[in-house]
Chain A
Amino acid sequence: EVQLVESGGGLVQSGRSLRLSCAASGFTFDDYAMYWVRQAPGKGLEWVSGISWNSDSIGYADSVKGRFTISRDNAKNSLYLQMNSLRPEDTAFYYCAKDPRYRAMIMGWFDPWGQGTLVTVSS
């Protein structure tokens, strides 16, 4: 069974940094693109970033470009999101998600999703 477990969320002051992790199991991690998607409390979904299976292709939403960095360690079956210069509007549940297609990334979809980790940025 595919499992994605996020960690690293918490309360942080505006302008500070936080690093999220996503531990993957139940599949060959280094064959699949991975993503981060966030959801502000009571709001809709927003794609944050994505990384290809071999880290050759990386993309970011305009709202986080230049502040967030996605990375992966295939040896540790882990996905990361380094978040710098955090703002109150970054407050959200952050979900990691897997692209279900073998070694593909562009124009994908998200399946499955982790349970999410909450990031709260205070002003």
Chain B
Amino acid sequence: QSVLTQPPSVSGAPGQRVTISCTGSFSNIGAGYDVHWYQQLPGTAPKLLIYGYSNRPSGVPDRFSGSKSGTSASLAISGLQAEDEADYYCQSYDSRSYVFGTGTKVTVL
């Protein structure tokens, strides 16, 4: 059972901006542990998208951005493109264990 909650799905038209929330608690995000985000394209392994709340690995477009507020974090995708259609997961740390969000499917209309 995931301790980080994400909306099951979000959708948007090409060019629009969508955001995905990751809601935790005072034992994980609220305790100051970093949040990281992964993108999983259909049939492939997850890929790191954002680390340490808002840092992008090299090669990740700046259309992807992350932020934190209290016990939650958010991933924003601006200028949505067809190739952004995928599952997205947040990840943090809690009680000596790594925890993932429930996952969000992004659909490009």
Assuming the contacts A47-B97, A107-B33, asked whether A112 and B48 have C-beta atoms less than 8 A apart, the reply is yes
**Are B100 and A46 within 8 A (Cβ)?**
yes
- Number of B interface residues at 8 Å Cβ cutoff, please give it: 23
B102 sits at the interface (CB 8 A): yes
Q: Mark B73-100, 1 if CB is under 8 A from A, else 0.
A: 0000000000000000101010011111
**Are B33 and A47 within 8 A (Cβ)?**
no
Task: Return chain B residues, CB-CB under 8 Å to A112.
Answer: 47-48
- Taking the closest CB of chain B, its distance from the CB of A9, in whole angstroms, is 14
Chain A residue with minimal CB distance to B32? A107
**Are B2 and A116 within 8 A (Cβ)?**
no
When chains A and B are docked, how far (Å) is the Cα of A107 from the Cα of B33?
7
Within 8 A of A (CB), among B34-70: 34, 36, 38, 44-48, 51, 57
B24 sits at the interface (CB 8 A): no
Task: Return chain B residues, CB-CB under 8 Å to A88.
Answer: none
**Are A45 and B89 within 8 A (Cβ)?**
yes
Name the 3 nearest CB pairs between A and B, nearest first.
A111-B48, A47-B98, A109-B36
